[in-house]
């Protein structure tokens, strides 16, 4: 069996790797970038850092600061027009997963036209677009190393999953120092997203020997550091480990797919505006418990790779330890319930079938070790409310 692995061409990893941005552009043959980012990056002074590096090397560039959290197909249009008109030769995506996902979509539409719904799964994006240099500022989505972007359809409120080798960033600059000023809520939500990527990739039906190694390494880096990075924001070792863990988890799921947690998470996000990592966190313990019978050995190994058990003498005990830890993480990091987040129960109940249909349509539940039918997903949504 052959596994086709897709990775960025260049990855600069470590403290001050941002300094290598100009030479990374040269390596890619790019000289006229457009920085794609958001207002928070502007306020934090991160955009100024990038501008200073480009100015030092007399590199002309454009700047688009209007990407939005959980981007949709209309939020990227102004940037698409700007990139086409000014004829930039690459994009620098600076920010969390939303900024990087936006940049991937902007590069695709500016290079090939059409609308994002043309490119959603099962379509495979193999078109070669403007190169994207991704600079993540959270340790979470792993978007800097994935061939995936998630853009909502503003007409139907569907979170569209778009995948394919054409969406892999050409380069990633992974400098954990950007995460030092992350608010603890965002560190928690994005961190649990990364842990979810590692676990879902490891138990995925599309997992392979390569993706397993990335997922194992990611679990080993993320599990002991997730709570630390939220409670000890100055813990550099934990921040560095978490950042690399998130990238490796991204590589793992990009080459093995995510599963039911992500499939059910996107509809919650789009209907109730729950941030992606947070809706994953709300689902993770319940969905993991449901999925255990589909891959009992691999879930037990997750408990071992996360450092929760040293050996797997007793699979059931390893499973229980894993579920308890996922609940403990949520409790410690103050993950709210759907009700505590402000979701209205009657609205949630009214959308159960719709959300379950959207979850199935994304294809992600089909990668889950235990594949649910529509009614099971509805029941799981109900269980998550309790």
Q: Which residues pair with 135 in a beta bridge?
A: 94
Among 144, 158, 175, 193, binds Fe ion (CB under 5 A): 193
CA-based nearest residue to 247, from 322, 308, 175: 175
Between 21 and 284, CB nearer to Fe ion: 284
Least Å from the CB of residue 164 to Fe ion: 17
- Closer by beta carbon to Fe ion, 28 or else 187: 187
- Footprint (CB under 5 A) of Fe ion, residues 319-348: none
CB-side exposure of 350: number of CA atoms within 13 Å?
A: 7
Decide whether 8 or 33 has the Cβ nearer to Fe ion.
8
Residue ranges of the alpha helices (H) in the chain?
A: 21-27, 39-43, 46-56, 77-86, 97-112, 184-203, 209-222, 226-231, 236-254, 260-272, 276-291, 296-305, 315-332, 338-341, 345-350, 352-361, 374-385
**Minimum distance of Fe ion from residue 132's CB (angstroms):** 18
- The two tokens of residue 257 are 């797919």
Q: How far is the CB of 165 from Fe ion (least distance, A)?
A: 19
> Would you say 198 or 300 has its CB closer to Fe ion?
198
Which residue's beta carbon is nearest to the bound Fe ion? 193
**Residue 212 touches Fe ion, criterion: CB under 5 A:** no
Query: Closest separation between CB of residue 105 and Fe ion, Å?
Result: 16
Q: How far is the CB of 141 from Fe ion (least distance, A)?
A: 6
Span interacting with Fe ion, options 46-54, 118-126, 187-195, 304-312, rule CB under 5 A: 187-195
Burial degree of 306 (CB within 10 A; 0-12, 13-18, 19+): buried
CB of 153 to Fe ion, least distance (A): 18
Query: Which range binds Fe ion by CB under 5 A, 129-137, 185-193, 231-239, 365-373?
Result: 185-193
Three-state DSSP class for 161? strand
From the CA atom positions of the chain, what is the Rg in Å?
A: 20
Q: Cβ closer to Fe ion: 193 or 325? A: 193
> Of 77-85, 109-117, 186-194, 295-303, which part binds Fe ion (CB under 5 A)?
186-194
Closer to Fe ion by Cβ: residue 119 or 253: 253
Nearest to Fe ion of 101, 193 (CB atom): 193
* DSSP track, 250-308: HHHHHTT---HHHHHHHHHHHHH---HHHHHHHHHHHHHHHHGGGSHHHHHHHHHHTTS
Query: In the complex, what is the shortest distance from the CB of residue 367 to Fe ion, in angstroms, rounded to a whole number?
Result: 13
By the 8 A CB rule, do 138 and 69 touch?
no
CB 255 to Fe ion: min, Å? 15
Of 88-96, 189-197, 222-230, 307-315: span binding Fe ion (CB under 5 A): 189-197
Q: Name the token pair of 304.
A: 């071992």
The answer to whether residue 38 forms part of the interface with Fe ion (CB under 5 A) is: no
CB 367 within 8 Å of CB 204: yes
Nearest CB to Fe ion, comparing residues 17 and 364 = 364
3-state secondary structure (DSSP) of residue 331? helix
Residue 78: half-sphere exposure toward Cβ, Cα within 13 Å: 10
- Closer of 47 and 221 to Fe ion (Cβ): 221
Per-residue interface string for the shown chain with Fe ion, residues 85-124, x marking contact by CB under 5 A: ----------------------------------------
Instruction: Report the nearest approach of Fe ion to the CB of residue 19 (Å).
Output: 29
With b meaning 16 or more CB within 10 Å and e meaning fewer, what string describes 154-191?
Answer: eeeebbbbbbbbbbbbbbbbbbbbbbeebeeebbbbbb
DSSP letter string, 36-49: E--HHHHHTTHHHH
Which of these segments, 178-186, 191-199, 284-292, 346-354, binds Fe ion (CB under 5 A)?
191-199
CB-nearer residue toward Fe ion: 197 or 239: 197
Minimum gap (Å) between residue 117 Cβ and Fe ion: 21
- What is the dihedral angle through the alpha carbons of 231, 235, 240, 241, rounded to the nearest 10 degrees? -60
List residues near Fe ion by CB under 5 A: 193
């Amino acid at each position: 069996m052959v596994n086709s692995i897709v990775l960025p061409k260049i990855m600069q990893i470590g403290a001050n790797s941002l300094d290598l941005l100009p030479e990374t552009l040269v390596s890619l043959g790019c000289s006229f970038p457009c920085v794609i980012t958001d207002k928070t990056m502007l306020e934090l002074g991160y955009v100024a850092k990038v501008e200073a590096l480009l100015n030092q090397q007399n590199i002309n560039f454009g700047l688009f600061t209007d990407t939005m959290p959980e981007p949709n197909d209309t939020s990227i249009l102004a940037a698409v027009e700007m990139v086409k008109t000014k004829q930039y030769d690459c994009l620098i995506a600076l920010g969390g997963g939303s900024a990087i996902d936006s940049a991937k979509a902007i590069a695709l539409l500016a290079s090939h036209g059409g609308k994002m719904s043309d490119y959603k799964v099962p379509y495979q994006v193999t078109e070669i677009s403007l190169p994207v240099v991704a600079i993540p500022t959270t340790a979470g989505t792993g978007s800097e190393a994935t061939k995936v972007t998630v853009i909502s359809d503003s007409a139907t409120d569907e979170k569209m999953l778009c995948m394919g080798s054409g969406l892999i960033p050409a380069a990633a600059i992974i400098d954990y120092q950007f995460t030092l000023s992350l608010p603890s809520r965002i560190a928690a939500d994005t961190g649990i997203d990364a842990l979810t990527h590692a676990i879902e990739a490891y138990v995925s039906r599309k997992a392979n020997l390569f993706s397993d190694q990335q997922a194992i390494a990611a679990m080993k880096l993320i599990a002991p550091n997730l709570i630390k990075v939220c409670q000890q924001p100055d813990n550099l070792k934990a921040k560095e480990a978490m950042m690399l863990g998130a990238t490796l988890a991204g590589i793992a799921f990009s080459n093995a797919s995510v599963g039911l947690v992500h499939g059910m998470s996107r509809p919650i996000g789009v209907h109730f505006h729950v941030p992606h990592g947070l809706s994953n966190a709300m689902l993770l313990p319940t969905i993991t418990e449901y999925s255990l019978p589909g891959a009992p050995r691999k879930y037990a190994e997750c408990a071992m790779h996360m450092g929760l058990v040293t050996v797997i003498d007793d699979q059931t005990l390893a499973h229980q330890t894993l579920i308890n830890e996922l609940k403990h993480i949520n409790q410690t990091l103050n993950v709210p319930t759907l009700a505590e987040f402000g979701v209205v129960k009657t609205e949630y109940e009214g959308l159960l079938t719709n959300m379950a249909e959207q979850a199935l349509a994304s294809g992600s539940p089909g990668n889950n070790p235990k594949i649910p039918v529509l009614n099971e997903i509805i029941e799981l949504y109900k269980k998550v409310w309790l």
